Amino acid sequence: MAVLSDTQIRELVSIEPFAGNEKRRGIVSYGVSSYGYDVRVGTRFKIFTNATRNLVLGGTAVVDPKNFTNDLFVTIDTAETGRDHIIIPPNSFALAETVETISIPRDVLAICVGKSTYARCGIIVNVTPLEPEWRGKVTIEISNTTPLPAKIYANEGIAQMIFLKADRVCAVSYADKGGKYQDQAGLTLPMVDGLSSPEGDSLADDRLVARNDSRNLQSQ
C-alpha cells in the first residue's frame, strides 16, 4: 500500500467541502496536508452523562453496544446555543460528526489519527477505518482523559485522515456488503446487524430531555 499525497487526495478522494491547508490565527488548522487531510468537527455533539432517564429505581447504567440507548447522552448543537465550543466533563466521552462528507474509492482505505493540538491536552480522537467505497459524514469519538473539563471547538480541525492506496482492488467493498453505516448523514449511534437501531437518535427528540443538562455543561 502507498500513502496518498496532497495532489492524489485532490484527484482521487471526494471530500465536500474541500479545503486547502487552512491555518488562521486562533483556529485549530484543517484541510489538505502533505500526506493527509485534517477534517473539522461539526456543531452537533452527544456527551455521555450518568443522569440516565430510563433506569429502574436503584438500577445501574451499562453501556451495551447491542442495546444502546440515547438516554446515555446529552445532545448539544453549538449552532443552536450560539457558542463556538462544547465542554466534555472530566474522564468522559463524546460523539461528534465531521463537517466534511467523504467518499472512499474502491482501492483506498482511510485511517484516522488525532491532531497534536488536542492530543497534547489529553484529548484523544478515535475513528475506525473508512473502508473502500464507504460514503458519508464520519462519526468521531472523542475522549477527555484528563481530570478537568475540556473544550472542543466546533467547525475547526479535530483529526487527520490518512489515505492508503492498495496494490490491488478488493474483491468485496463496503458498498458491496451493504454496510449499515453507509451514507450516514451525520452523527450515528452504534448498530449491530439484526438488531433494531437505538431509539430517539434525533436532535429533536433529545432537545426536551437534554435542555437542563445542556445548559449546565455549557456554563462551565
Give the CATH class of 2-218: mainly beta
pLDDT at 105: 98
What contacts 108, CB < 8 A, 6 or more positions away? 4, 12, 13, 132, 163, 164, 165, 166
CA distance 32 to 195: 38
Q: How many CA atoms lie within 13 A of 199 on its CB side?
A: 3
pLDDT of residue 39: 98
Given the residues 100, 133, 141, 199, the one annotated as active site: 141
Residue 141 a catalytic site member: yes
The number of CA neighbours under 13 Å toward the Cβ of 63 is: 8
Contacts of 206 (CB under 8 A, 6+ apart): 70, 73, 74, 75, 200
Q: What is the pLDDT of residue 58?
A: 55
Phi/psi of residue 37, each to 5°? -140, 125
SS3 of residue 12 by DSSP:
helix
Q: Which three cell numbers stand for residue 129?
A: 477505518
Q: What is the mean pLDDT of each run of 10 residues along the chain (220 residues)?
A: 96 97 86 97 91 54 81 92 96 96 98 96 95 98 97 98 98 96 93 64 38 46
Residue 122 C-alpha cell reads as 489529553
Nearest to 46 by CA among 203, 163, 218: 203
